[in-house]
Structures are given as C-alpha cells and as structure tokens.
C-alpha cells in the first residue's frame, strides 16, 4: 500500500478508467489532426508543467498522429489548494517554426480557466498556426472565464484532487489514480 494513499478521502478515477479516458482523447485528436488537414499538420503537444506530465506521457503513447513535444511552466498566485489570480510564465516556449506549428496545450485540469485562456492567447499572439487544448479533468463549477478546452477527459465535482501528476504542495503526483484529498490535509 502506498503510504500517500492514507491522505486520500476516496478514489475518484482509478487507473483503468484513466486509461480509457486517455485512449478516447487520443482517438479524438487523431481524428481531427491526421486526416482532416492531412500531412499539413505539424502537431506539437505542449505540456504544462508539472501537473500534465503523466497525462502527457500516456496520451502521446496512444496517438497515431506524429507529434513533437515541448513544455511550458506557469504559475498562478494564490493558496496551494486554490487557483490564483494572474498567470506567470516560468518557462517559455522558444521556437522559430511557430507559424507552421499546430499547438495542442496539454493540461491536467481546468478550474477557473485562467491558465488555459492565458496560454492559448499568448501562443496565438506568439504566432502559432493553430492552438487547441486538452484537459484531463474539468471542474466547471469554478470557471471564471468562458474558455472551454477542445478535448476534455472527465467532469469532476468541486473537490481538490491529486494523483496522476496532480499535486498538493508538490506531493501525491506519483499516485496512479485521481483521488480526492482529505480536507484536513489542506484546511489547517
Ligand atoms: P485554472 O487556471 O484555475 O484553470 O487552474 C488550473 C491549475 O490549477 C491546474 O493546472 C492545477 O495546477 C491547479 N488546480 C486546480 N484544481 C486543482 C486540483 O483539484 N488539484 C490539483 N491542482 C489543481
Ligand atoms: Mg497545473
């Protein structure tokens, strides 16, 4: 038994369900990118560090469409268990081929929507040919923008979740499932 699992209230999405969600998203992406615009697509999977790494790793294995990968890191101010106000770029994307690049932002979760809305605008302004986004999890109750990802895994209730890359204070990323964190862990 993983000692981290003592801090989990309950498992929300187990490893098997995660696998089927990720396969479904991969096939949706393949349907959109491989065949519609043929070989003109130049897909770049852009993972948002660090929460997306497990999702990204699984997603890329299931894609049939050839893709490059890259990463950006952003931070938002605020409490660890809440999404913050403004978005800051910690690690930027530097490429000279953005006008020929179709970016798919890969994100762990969309909450207020600020991170994805900001990144999508930023990458369009930087000159990317197209920008879409995929979010494994969606907490629609907390949305503060009208941003909607093009690909979505699962809608979840307004609970703080960890595992499969998602953290609380840098912990729990290694858990192989998505679990609801016990409230007493973050409400002190
Ligand atoms: P947004 O900008 O409010 O949409 O927030 C997105 C970011 O907040 C995600 O990339 C996560 O880093 C973080 N986040 C939001 N909800 C959770 C959660 O339940 N668990 C872990 N991280 C979360
Ligand atoms: Mg994140």
Nearest residue (by CA) to ligand 1, atom 8, is 83
Q: Write out the E strands in the chain.
A: 8-13, 43-49, 67-76, 87-91, 102-110, 130-138, 151-155, 161-162, 178-181
Q: Which pLDDT value is given to residue 63?
A: 96
CA distances from 39 to 5, 66, 139 (A): 45, 10, 35
Residue 161 Cβ contacting ligand 1 at under 6 Å: yes
Residue 108 Cβ contacting ligand 1 at under 6 Å: yes
Q: Which pLDDT value is given to residue 188?
A: 76
* Beta-carbon count within 10 A of 101 CB: 23
Q: Indicate the angle between helix axes 53-62 and 15-33, nearest 10 degrees.
A: 60
Q: Which pLDDT value is given to residue 108?
A: 98
Report the separation in Å between the CA atom of 165 and the middle of ligand 2, taken as the mean of its atom positions.
Answer: 9
Sheet holding 67-76, edge to edge: 87-91, 67-76, 43-49, 102-110, 130-138, 151-155
Nearest residue (by CA) to ligand 1, atom 11, is 109
Q: Which pLDDT value is given to residue 79?
A: 43
Q: Which pLDDT value is given to residue 86?
A: 80
Q: Which pLDDT value is given to residue 77?
A: 60
Report the separation in Å between the CA atom of 39 and the middle of ligand 2, taken as the mean of its atom positions.
Answer: 31
Domain edges within the chain: 16-156
Tokens of 16: 């098997």
**Residue of 54, 37, 2 lying closest to 167 (CA atoms):** 54
CATH class in words for 16-156: alpha beta
Contact 118, 92 (CB under 8 A): no
User: Tens-digit pLDDT profile for the chain (188 aa)?
Assistant: 689 999 999 999 999 999 999 999 999 999 998 655 555 689 999 999 999 999 999 999 999 999 999 999 998 765 444 555 689 999 999 999 999 999 999 999 999 999 999 999 999 999 999 999 999 999 999 999 999 999 999 999 999 999 999 999 999 999 999 999 999 999 97
């Amino acid at each position: 038994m993983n000692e981290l699992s003592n801090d989990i209230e309950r498992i929300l999405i187990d490893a098997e369900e995660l696998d089927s969600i990720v396969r479904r998203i991969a096939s949706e992406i393949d349907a959109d990118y491989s065949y519609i615009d043929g070989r003109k697509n130049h897909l770049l999977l852009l993972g948002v560090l660090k929460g997306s790494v497990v999702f990204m790793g699984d997603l890329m294995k299931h894609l049939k469409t050839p893709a490059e990968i890259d990463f950006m890191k952003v931070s938002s101010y605020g409490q660890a268990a809440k999404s913050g106000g403004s978005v800051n770029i910690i690690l930027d994307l530097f490429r000279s081929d953005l006008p020929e690049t179709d970016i798919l932002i890969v994100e762990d979760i969309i909450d207020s929507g600020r991170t994805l809305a900001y990144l999508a605008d930023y990458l369009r302004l930087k000159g990317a040919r197209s920008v879409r986004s995929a979010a494994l999890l969606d907490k629609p109750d907390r949305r503060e923008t009208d941003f909607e990802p093009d690909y979505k895994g699962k809608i979840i209730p307004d609970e703080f979740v960890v595992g499969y890359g998602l953290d609380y204070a840098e912990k729990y990323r290694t858990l192989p499932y998505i679990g609801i964190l016990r409230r007493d862990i973050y409400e002190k």
